[in-house]
């Protein structure tokens, strides 16, 4: 029986999701990042726990549990309100954090700010995809 369990263990673990994607506020080698982590507790469950890990070293490092949702439907928009205030939005749910003092606000204030990008599944991995900013040419009259 033990041999069967050992042989089946890789199959059971293969279906689980446990990955993350990061946005680096001060470039790829900086110390200021927002990371979304998604993890399934059990291979038979479609739900995954979604967490935010915010860091602005050496002053801020904090993990915040956001929600649970199906692993393949984790799509979270990241908005910047300036002054290290960030808003995360997934459907009707929103969260607002501030990385200056490592705080999560009880209520979301304002519209969230400028869209920076989206955390989402891409095939078998989880990625951060930066928003495309289009510039509108000035009228030349």
What SS3 state is found at 40? coil
Q: What mean pLDDT comes out for the span 16-45?
A: 91
Q: Which residue from 127, 103, 107, 102 is spatially nearest to 117, judged by alpha carbons?
A: 127
* Spatial separation of the C-alpha atoms in residues 13 and 11, rounded to whole Å: 6
Instruction: Say yes or no to pLDDT of 8 above 60.
Output: no
pLDDT at site 48:
94
Q: By percentage, how much of the chain surpasses pLDDT 90? A: 68
Q: Indicate the range of 9-13, 65-69, 108-112, 129-133 predicted with least confidence.
A: 9-13
Predicted local distance difference test score (pLDDT) of residue 11: 45
Antiparallel, parallel or unpaired: β 76-82 and 125-130: unpaired
Query: Tens of pLDDT along 61-117?
Result: 999 999 999 988 999 999 999 999 999 999 999 999 999 999 999 999 888 999 999
Quote the CA–CA distance of 95 and 13 in Å, as a whole number. 31
């Amino acid at each position: 029986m033990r041999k069967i369990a050992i042989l089946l263990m890789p199959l059971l673990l293969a279906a689980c999701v446990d990955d993350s994607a990061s946005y680096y506020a001060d470039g790829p080698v900086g110390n200021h990042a927002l990371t979304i982590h998604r993890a399934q507790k059990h291979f038979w469950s479609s739900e995954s726990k979604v967490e935010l890990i915010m860091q602005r070293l050496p002053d801020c490092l904090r993990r915040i549990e956001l929600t649970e949702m199906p692993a393949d439907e984790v799509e979270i928009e990241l908005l910047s309100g300036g002054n290290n205030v960030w808003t995360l939005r997934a459907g009707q749910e929103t969260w607002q954090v501030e990385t200056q003092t490592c705080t999560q606000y009880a209520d979301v204030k304002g519209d969230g700010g400028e869209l920076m990008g989206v955390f989402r599944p891409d095939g078998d991995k989880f990625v951060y995809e930066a928003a495309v900013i289009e510039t509108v040419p000035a009228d030349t009259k």
